[in-house]
């Protein structure tokens, strides 16, 4: 199938497929006589793996490691589990940061009168440069 068909079936854009190929997450596609990229079932399976990994928030570097582990039939599942646990810790850190951002913004919103006057603590905080540190 061509890249457009692979994109539709994988749920990825053609641009992302070309990008994944350029950074070696996906092996280079076979080419038709006219130079068009051609993808097979194995490529679609790999694209699905990449998409699901990205949907779970894994970085491109982590996806590369996961792909290596997935393709290595001699791998230890402990290696996969360790990578997933590390990712969970990163997610938990981001969740804490987002919670702090939410709390700061919530506090600013509560202190804003939200009336016809121009005085606004939200804008003052943003202009002060001290927000969210």
Residues 54 and 100 in one domain: no
pLDDT tens per residue, range 41-74: 999 999 999 999 999 999 999 999 999 999 999 9
CA 20 → CA 16, 24, 80, 115, distances in Å?
A: 6, 6, 21, 50
| Cβ 46 vs Cβ 26: under 8 Å | yes
Tell whether 67 is covered by a domain.
Answer: no
Say if 98 falls within a structural domain: yes
Number of domains in the chain: 2
Could you read off the pLDDT of 74-95 as tens digits, one per residue? 999 999 999 999 999 999 999 9
pLDDT at 132: 56
Question: Which residue segment(s) compose the domain that 43 sits in?
Answer: 1-60
pLDDT the model gives residue 87: 97
Measured distance CA(15)–CA(5) in Å, rounded? 13
pTM of the predicted model, to two decimals?
0.80
What's 29's domain CATH number?
1.10.1660.10
- Residues 7, 55, single domain; the answer is yes
pLDDT band at residue 130 using 50, 70 and 90 as cut-offs: low
Answer whether 32's CB lies under 8 Å from 38's CB.
Answer: yes
């Amino acid at each position: 199938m061509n890249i457009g068909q692979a994109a539709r079936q994988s749920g990825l854009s053609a641009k992302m497929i070309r990008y994944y190929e350029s950074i070696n997450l996906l092996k280079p596609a076979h080419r038709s006589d006219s130079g068009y990229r051609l993808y097979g079932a194995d490529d679609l399976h790999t694209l699905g793996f990449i998409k699901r990994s990205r949907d779970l928030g894994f970085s491109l570097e982590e996806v590369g490691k996961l792909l290596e582990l997935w393709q290595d039939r001699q791998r230890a599942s402990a290696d996969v589990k360790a990578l997933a646990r590390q990712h969970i810790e990163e997610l938990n850190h981001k969740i804490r940061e987002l919670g702090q951002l939410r709390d700061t913004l919530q506090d600013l919103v509560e202190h804003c009168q939200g009336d016809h006057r121009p005085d606004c603590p939200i804008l003052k905080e943003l202009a002060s440069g001290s927000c969210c540190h």
